[in-house]
Amino acid sequence: MQKYTVVVCDHIHEAGLKMLEDDKDINFIMAADVDKTELVEKIISTADVAITRSSTDIDKYFIANAKNMKAIVRAGVGVDNVDIPSCSKEGIIVMNVPTANTIAAVELTMTHMLSCMRMFPYSHDHLKNQRVWKREKWYGYEMKGKKLGVIGFGNIGSRVAKRAQAFEMDIIAYDPYINPSKVTDLDMTYTKNFEDILACDIITIHTPKNQETIGMINEAEFAKMKDGVVVINCARGGLYNEEALYNNLKSGKIRFAGIDVFSKEPATDHPLLNLDNVTVSPHLGANTFESQYNIGTQAAQNAILAAKGIAYPHAMNLPIDESKIPSFVKPFLEMGQKIGFLESQMNKSQIIAIKVSGHGEISKYVESLSTFVAVGAMSQNSGDTINYVNADFVAKEKGIKIESEALCDSSVYKNLITIKLTTSEGTTTISATIFDDNVQRIVAIGSFDIEVALKGDMILVQNSDVPGVIGSMGSILASHNINIADFSLARNAKSEALAVILVDDVVSDVALAELSSLEACLSVKYARI
């Protein structure tokens, strides 16, 4: 009987180890305490599947020695230490266990919230370590009746809100990617206006870390908050701009902050540690015995399924068997995912439907293409939980309809794909093709025929087709020291124009607001690919 080798590279809960040990089809090797060089050079070549955590880097050196590897299971949510593109190139599937530590993260958030409101760590230290009994020094605040702003209403944010509701708090949730009824059905308030969140007494953030969310709370947002606000971050380091957070804590604008995660870890010398109105913990979101049990057992179960080729739960990539598809298809799949990602930034609201159409030979592969498009479109608000394996399931769970259609050959292009994204706020449609040498190009956006490279920072300005607009846009960008790399312009039959501007620099909200204020401007969108 064939046995499959599973190598455990880092420590996981003993219950997971026992699952591997008890499976008669699995040859289990415990290598968590083995020197990493020896692990890679002498052990990993025998593995069908490896289970890792943050202590083992799955880099090119590791992958080069993983001669028989089918899959990597990251026992946790983050996959920062895994070179996913290199794994995909070698046909290695990368999986994680994204929901195992949900409750642990929720309860840690509540711990920080309560500690900030009652200054518990400081009163504890005063009595326990300094042996000072001074009750009058430690007047805190009650949570009852306070407004809690929840940014991100997914698995963790929604559970934090429910627990806060039990404290008789008023909950206001901001998440442009969900159906508002998910909030309102719980007798909570849903808002599309981010300033409603900034007006809350306590603000907690629960979003994935991506281009849209890094530094999403900056100096401008802190300035709009009420004096004495309490802010919490047990999600990802860098969602609050840490310099701005420090300055506003020091000035007293922010009364207290509860922080579990930092932009760079370990953060033993971080300036925030010098302040006396911060509760901190060293990234303990998953550090409960229960979550470690869940992580260990789910990782072991995923490894067993993958080793036997049964399933690949929570796969982060999709190895493509190029022997079974023409070579021209893979670049279209990649391009489709990019367009889905682009359109989700152009139309930031709850996704209702995704429709993918194919003209020419690519139309034979339009169903596979729709999966890639869905991953791109949903990745903005799904973070680490969206992948090629679960995309259809996640879409159904969110009520998103995914359609694909094969059309007749295009009269202009050998192969053409058109992606229509419908959200609660409207519809965007983009058509694209691939020219010789795998050059990806957008060839139409809505009713505008326009050729645009699919890369970089992109500003899309739709305006009335009147003189002087191009010069005004250029002047505004120049005033913000933003260099234009490419400028494409198109007109439609409605006397409207569309400018797609590729720039070399990140565009600030202030610059976008100035573009929007132009008299002829109809809309401004900004995306980063």
Give catalytic residue positions: 236, 265, 283
Residue with tokens 């040859």: 27
Decide: 167 and 143 in contact? Cβ < 8 Å: yes
Decide: 217 and 239 in contact? Cβ < 8 Å: yes
Task: Report CA torsion sign: 264, 265, 269, 274.
Answer: positive
Give every CB contact of residue 195 below 8 A, 6+ residues apart in sequence: 224
Closest of 150, 216, 206 to residue 183, by C-alpha: 150
Q: Which two tokens stand for residue 278?
A: 């911060």
State whether residue 310 is helix, strand or coil: coil
Decide: 408 and 394 in contact? Cβ < 8 Å: no
**Interior angle at CA 28, CA 311 and CA 34, nearest 5:** 120
Give every CB contact of residue 490 below 8 A, 6+ residues apart in sequence: 445, 448, 449, 450, 497, 498
Decide: 270 and 241 in contact? Cβ < 8 Å: no
Question: CA 106 to CA 117: how far, in whole Å?
Answer: 17
Closest of 216, 226, 280, 215 to residue 252, by C-alpha: 226
